[in-house]
Structure 1
Amino acid sequence: MESNKIFGKKVKHFNNLSDVIRIEALLKYGGIYLDMDMVLMRNVDLLRQYPCTMSYFMYLRPHFHLGSSYIMAERNSTFMQKWLVGYKYHYRNDSYSYSAMRYPYMLAKNFTNLIHVENETISRPYSLHGVAIFKHGLRPFDWSKLYGVHLYSRKNEETMNEMVMRDLNTTFAAIARHIIFGNKELCSK
């Protein structure tokens, strides 16, 4: 693959290149793809029974997108093959979300036997609200029943380390405390 083209079509949104690479890797090896700023909050073994799993992504209501920050697929998944074919024949460089999220949603609607779609339990919060998990004084985002949380770390402007997160009253810090200390509560309590 050329560095600026997908199947010979010029790329405007370079994230789409990484989509194709992750699809090809999952086809070859199977497994779980996570964006670098995704964290798993609970065991995903229950989802392993499906040939492919993704989650709805609330880009705009109602659901017309699947999130591509978490993908679990078995090797040679038929769904992943169809998605890759979509990049080959239906790629639109005028919209990042079409090929990355909208097209797999349309496939999932037509091929329900090839994919399990979780109802917003993996790729949360949504990018429109992602910045809120870093803000002080906001109602905490409830992540207790989610498989995964998308941290949207690019939206955080504060320096984070273990000491800062001990007493920071944000959803992000609570998640970090849960991972680091096994308890989401403020350390000063």
Structure 2
Amino acid sequence: MTDIQGLFKQHCVVPDVINTAPSELLNVQYSSGVNVELGKELTPTQVKDKPIVKWAAKENEYYTLAMVDPDAPSRENPKFREWHHWLVGNIFGGDFNKGEILSDYIGSGPPKGTGLHRYVFLVYKQPQKCDFSKMPKLPSNSGDKRGKFSISKFAQQYKLGSPIAGNFYVAQYDDYVPKLYAKLKG
């Protein structure tokens, strides 16, 4: 049995991102064949494509999934905390095809020389279907309006409570990062 809460605290995801660690492990698998394991290092090349994410979803419930980097532009100087890489709301019964993409997936792009960044996946159970019409819808080629996001404030605003499932990895610069930046506008 993995100590999810202990690792979230050990890596300071609690309190940097959330106040309460989730109790359930979120299964995150990339097409590169890599699985996210709590706190293990992956490369930006390994996580460039949108992963498959699974948790113990109930079929008649709505969920929100977020992926955030609290270490933007670096852990020592997190002035853009949190930069959100992915945000999907109203996921019905755990089926992403029945979710509302608020910010499409962007892989890890830690700037050169900034060390390891934490990339945190969180799933929240929504009390009901949410109205996200005031949220900007960001495509995967837009870095606009992604910095200074707070998943905790977002969860509070939409009455999502604490996350029910989560996972995270760490990554640092590799030679894929300039290719990622070249795709981003704004």
TM-score band, normalised by shorter chain: under 0.3
Instruction: Say which one has the larger Rg.
Output: 1
Which structure has more RCO (C-alpha within 8 Å, separation ≥ 6)?
Answer: 2
Task: Give the number of the structure whose residues are more often helix, by fraction.
Answer: 1
Task: Give the number of the structure whose residues are more often strand, by fraction.
Answer: 2
> Normalized against structure 2, the TM-score is what?
0.25
